Amino acid sequence: MNRKPVPVEYKGIRLLGDKLNLKITDNKQAQELAYFLTGVGIGEINSRGMGFCNYRWL
């Protein structure tokens, strides 16, 4: 979604990240996995807010 990487300061360096837009299918397994990911975050360094995710109904 972003046009250039999003920099975040961490331990004296800049980490580059991206904003993602995921489309989840309607089958049960994919929906359960997506629900799990909204709770635990996607990606690395979730404790620092890097794996933040939210959902939007389409």
pLDDT of residue 5: 86
Q: Locate the domains of the chain by residue range.
A: 24-58
Q: Round to whole Å and give the CA distance between 35 and 8.
A: 26
Residue 10 and residue 48 in contact, taking contact as beta carbons nearer than 8 Å: yes
Mean pLDDT value across residues 20-40 = 89
pLDDT of residue 57: 76
pLDDT greater than 80 at residue 15: yes
DSSP structure class, residue 11: T
pLDDT of residue 30: 93
DSSP, collapsed to helix, strand or coil, labels residue 16 as: strand
Condensed to tens digits (0 to 9), the pLDDT of residues 33-56 reads 988 988 888 877 777 777 777 777
Q: Round to whole Å and give the CA distance between 53 and 29.
A: 19
Q: Round to whole Å and give the CA distance between 4 and 54.
A: 21
Report if pTM > 0.85. no
